[in-house]
Amino acid sequence: MNFVQELTWRGMVHTLMPGTEEQLQKELTSAYLGIDPTADSLHIGHLVGVMMLKHFQAAGHKPIALIGGATGMIGDPSGKSQERNLLDEPTLRHNQDCIKKQLALFLDFDSDKENAAILVNNYDWMKEFSFLAFIRDVGKHITVNYMMSKDSVKKRLGEDAKMGMSFTEFTYQLVQGYDFLYLYKHHNCKLQMGGSDQWGNITTGTELIRRKESGEAYALTCPLITKSDGTKFGKTESGNVWLDPERTSPYAFYQFWLNVSDEDAQRYIKIFTMLTKADIDGLIAEHAQAPHMRVLQKRLAQEVTCMVHGEQEYNAAVEASAILFGSGTAQSLAALDKKTFLAVFDGVPTFQIQKVDIEAGIQILELLATHTNIFPSKGEARKMIQGGGVSINKSKIESPEKAIDSSYIINNSYILIQKGKKNYFIVEIV
């Protein structure tokens, strides 16, 4: 497999330094990609870089995932309008451990193969580096003129910049450049990959290797992923879409991919899955024949959810989706854990009822029109029940005389009421 060609047809190459492809065809090569450890989980914005490493390993080369422990203490100015909060060492180490577990879903760290992935943290080689030693051994090889020419710096120092840039951030490209130099010397690393906003930082590293070691090193960047409407990829109303199931439930994760536009699905399925070109071309053609079936979105959601959360969680997410959209059963509803239940019915109107009241039993009309205002009157509630339009926990209510008691409570917390086909309400038991 030709790594550069593979990434190119997938739309994952923005800029490629001359000689990169030739280097990769010549020999097994090590390449690294930096990951910011600002949280104890990756989010889907990291996935493009992670998939680059995955394809790199699949092509027979050696991926190095670099946790930016030292650089995380500084803050990268690229694409930022202001400085970030800096982290202490215990937080960095915790975040590193969590991130490695997630990376292991994509990369083989444990095999005895020559191209097994490794994880490094630049804090390990930067923490003992004195300021004087750094400016003497590294700083003298890169001119201020060179550093000032980078877009990430110019944007922050230009006429329109409001905040300016601290010396701390200004030094970022030198520290990242030294990472490349260190990995070149200690791991024979000859390629750095990253987002297109990292080009300036990456080429500072190649320049440092050239000037200090008279060595050849290379750079490859991928485009920054956006949505077809121009908004930022990976963001929802509630914030980032995380890989950690505690931060973003597998159901919400699955739904994110399921709900992307046709245009985005066609791009994303190339970037975020390992499906072959033939498979993807087939899916695109099938989707074009019947767009309403959302073949692309369904397969994309399946591939990414299985890769991150496993097949069991994927199946649970599919089943949970069926509950919301009409075809789920009472059994599948009862099987939902509390977190998934809340994720499925996020934003649904909620009413509270005392547990003692429900234990005593509440006549269905009272529940629908007195204890809640799901219906404006008992008469309307009765009429809809008689017409077969009311369900409790996905089971149709046959009689307006029915009493609802504690046997209807799901997860010791909720009762789900459905009015017509699409209107859901939650009764929370307190």
Tens digits of residue pLDDT in 91-101: 888 999 999 99
Question: What per-residue confidence (pLDDT) applies to 168?
Answer: 75
Please check whether the domain covering 3-222 is classified as CATH 3.30.70.270.
Answer: no
- Catalytic residue, chosen from 14, 15, 23, 84, is 84
Mean pLDDT, rounded, for 172-193? 94
Residues 239-296: tens digit of each pLDDT = 889 999 999 999 999 999 999 999 999 999 999 999 999 999 999 999 999 999 999 9
Q: Does the structure show a pLDDT above 90 at 338?
A: no
- Catalytic residue, chosen from 140, 154, 185, 232, is 232
- Catalytic residue, chosen from 143, 236, 350, 354, is 236
Instruction: Give the pLDDT band of residue 73 (cuts 50, 70, 90).
Output: low
Mean pLDDT, rounded, for 347-364? 93
- Catalytic residue, chosen from 71, 173, 176, 203, is 176
- DSSP alpha helix (H) spans, 188-261: 199-213, 250-258
Q: Does the structure show a pLDDT above 80 at 33?
A: yes
Is 84 one of the annotated active-site residues of the chain? yes
**Using CA atoms, how far apart are residues 190 and 264, in angstroms rounded to an integer?**
33
The answer to whether the CB of 55 falls within 8 A of the CB of 24 is: no
Is 236 one of the annotated active-site residues of the chain? yes
- Catalytic residue, chosen from 15, 38, 91, 363, is 38
Q: Over the chain, what is the mean pLDDT?
A: 91
Tokens coding 12: 């994952």
The answer to whether the CB of 41 falls within 8 A of the CB of 242 is: yes
CA angle 56, 224, 178 (to 5 degrees): 60
Question: What per-residue confidence (pLDDT) applies to 232?
Answer: 77
Question: What per-residue confidence (pLDDT) applies to 74?
Answer: 63
Of residues 118 and 166, more confidently modeled: 118
Residue 409: how many other CB atoms lie within 10 Å: 17
Question: What per-residue confidence (pLDDT) applies to 220?
Answer: 98
Residue type, 162: K
Is 232 one of the annotated active-site residues of the chain? yes
* Strands laid side by side in the 395-396 sheet: 350-353, 423-429, 414-419, 390-392, 395-396
- Catalytic residue, chosen from 14, 100, 235, 298, is 235
Is 80 one of the annotated active-site residues of the chain? yes
- Catalytic residue, chosen from 80, 247, 294, 383, is 80
Helix (H) or strand (E) holding 181, with range, is helix 172-187
Closest CA to 253 of 295, 294, 298, 301: 301
- Catalytic residue, chosen from 10, 46, 371, 382, is 46
Tokens coding 145: 């003129």
* Helices 262-271 and 277-289: angle between axes, nearest 10 degrees: 170
What spatial distance separates the first Cα and last Cα of the chain, rounded to whole Å?
59
Is 273 one of the annotated active-site residues of the chain? no
Mean pLDDT, rounded, for 77-99? 73
**Using CA atoms, how far apart are residues 220 and 5, in angstroms rounded to an integer?**
12
Please check whether the domain covering 350-429 is classified as CATH 2.30.30.190.
Answer: no
Spans of all domains in the chain: 3-222, 235-335, 350-429
Q: Which CATH number fits domain 235-335: 1.10.10.350, 2.60.120.10, 1.10.240.10, 1.10.150.120?
A: 1.10.240.10
Residue type, 414: Y
Q: What is the pTM of this model?
A: 0.86
Q: Does the structure show a pLDDT above 50 at 81?
A: no
Mean pLDDT, rounded, for 213-230? 93
- Catalytic residue, chosen from 14, 23, 43, 419, is 43
The answer to whether the CB of 244 falls within 8 A of the CB of 217 is: no
- Catalytic residue, chosen from 197, 244, 262, 357, is 197
Q: Does the structure show a pLDDT above 70 at 423?
A: yes
Is 43 one of the annotated active-site residues of the chain? yes
3-class secondary structure per residue, 267-306? HHHHHCCCCCHHHHHHHHHHHHHCHHHCHHHHHHHHHHHH
Is 26 one of the annotated active-site residues of the chain? no
Question: What per-residue confidence (pLDDT) applies to 77?
Answer: 55
Among the ranges given (55-59, 145-149, 313-317, 370-374), the one the predictor scored with the smallest mean pLDDT: 145-149
Tokens coding 355: 């547990």
Mean pLDDT, rounded, for 334-341? 86
Is 38 one of the annotated active-site residues of the chain? yes
Closest CA to 64 of 211, 223, 194, 171: 194
**Using CA atoms, how far apart are residues 260 and 255, in angstroms rounded to an integer?**
9
